[in-house]
Amino acid sequence: MVSQELRVSTAWVLAFVAIAIATAIFIADTITELDIACPVFYTAVVLIAAQFCGKRGIVFVGLACIALTLLSDLLTIDVAPSQAGVINTCISLAAIAATTCLAVKIEMEKEATFEARSQLAHVARMTTLEGMTANIAHEVNQPLTAVLINGNACLHWLGAEPPDLNEARKNITNIVRDANRASKIVVQVRDLTKGQPPVSERLRLNEIILATTVLIDREIRQNQILIQTQLSDDVPPISGDRVQLQQVLLNLFLNSIEALRLAAVGSRHLVIVSTKSSSNNVLISVRDTGKGISSRNLNCLFDPFYTTKSGGLGIGLTISRSIVESHGGRIWATPNSPCGAVFHFTLPIDAGVDRSVKNQLSAGKFFA
C-alpha cells in the first residue's frame, strides 16, 4: 500500500502548505496598507485546496479566504482607507470568487468524467458477459444437473427397505455443495452486471483468479486449451474492489483465449501465475502461446479504442489499465518465448491501511 499511503501523506502536506500560505497572506495583508493587493494571493490557496478537496471543501476554502480578506481589512492599521485600497480589495475578492468557481467547475468535470468512464466500464462488462452467455449457462447447468442426480439418488435410498440413511445423507450433502456452487456462479455474474460504485475490501487474489477461471471453463474446453494455474501460497492479501479486479482478469483471459484460437491444436497453452514481488507488490502474469504481439504495437495496446481485432471495441485493455492504476498498480505486456504474449499487472500488498483506496474509489478518483 505504499502508493496509497503516499497519496494520503501528500494530501496532508498540501493541507499544511495551504494553511501556512493563508496564514502568511493574512498577516502580510493585516500589517500592510490596503493599497497593496495581498489578498489576491489567496487564489493560490484555493488552487492548492483543489488538489485534495472535493467540491464542498473548495467552496469552504474559498469562503474562508474571503472572510480572512474582510477580517484583515478591519484589522488593517489604516484609519482612512483610500479609494485604491477599496478597489484592490474588491478585485481580490472577485479573483478569489472566480478562482473558487473555476476550481469547483473543474472538480465537477472530473466527477462527470469518472461517471462516464464508470458507465463505459459497465458497458464493457455487459458486452463481455453477452459473449459468454452460453458459457455461463453451461457452468450453472452443471451443478444443477448434479443436484437433480443426487436428488433422485436420495429418493432411491430413502425408498429402499430398509431406508439407507447414510447414503441418503451423502446425497443431500452433495446437493448442498452443488447448490452452493451454482449460487456462487450466479452471484459472480450478478456482481459483474451491476453498475454499483466501487467498494474497497480486503481480498485474496488467488481466490479471485480461481473464481474467474470457472467462468471461462467452457471456452477453455471448446478451444482445446491447456490451462495451468501457478498460484503462490505466500501471496498476501490486497485491498481493492472485487468486481473491478475480476473484470481485469476476465479481459486478459478472454484476450488470450482469442489469440490461442489461431494457434495449432496441441500448442494452445494458457498459464496464470501469481507471486509476491520483491517490491511489496503482488505480480499477476497471464501467458499464452498465441500469435503474439508485434513490438510496434506494445506501446499502443492500452490506448483508448486501439484494437487489433476486426470486431474489437478497443476499450477492454484501456479499462483494465485504469482499474489497475486506480488500485495503485501498473499493467504492461511483453512478448512470450518462443511465441505468444504475456500480460503482467501488479497490485500493492495490503499493509492494513486500505482507507486511502476506499476514499480514492468512493470520491471519484477511479479513472482519473
Q: Please state the domain extents for the chain.
A: 2-123, 131-193, 201-362
- Predicted pLDDT at 356: 41
The pTM (predicted TM-score) of the whole model is 0.52
Question: Which ranges of the chain have pLDDT less than 50?
Answer: 1-6, 352-368
- Predicted pLDDT at 133: 61
- Predicted pLDDT at 326: 81
Alpha helices in the chain (DSSP H): 2-31, 42-49, 55-75, 83-130, 133-159, 165-193, 205-215, 217-222, 242-260, 316-326, 355-362
Task: Given CATH 1.10.12, say whether it is the number of domain 131-193.
Answer: no
Could you tell me which CATH number the domain at 201-362 has?
A: 3.30.565.10
- Predicted pLDDT at 285: 93
- Predicted pLDDT at 352: 45
Distance CA 178, CA 109 (A): 48
Nearest to 185 by CA among 129, 257, 251, 241: 129
- Predicted pLDDT at 304: 59
- Predicted pLDDT at 178: 77
- Predicted pLDDT at 269: 92
Evaluate whether 136 touches 129 at the Cβ level (below 8 Å): yes
How far lies 99's CA from each of 5, 52, 148, 154, 205, in Å? 29, 16, 68, 74, 44
Beta bridge partners of 287: 271, 342
Would you say how long the chain is, in residues? 368
Nearest to 189 by CA among 247, 233, 142, 145: 247
Distance CA 83, CA 285 (A): 69
Q: Do domains 131-193 and 201-362 have the same CATH topology?
A: no
How far lies 47's CA from each of 17, 61, 335, 368, in Å? 12, 10, 44, 18
Beta bridge partners of 240: 201
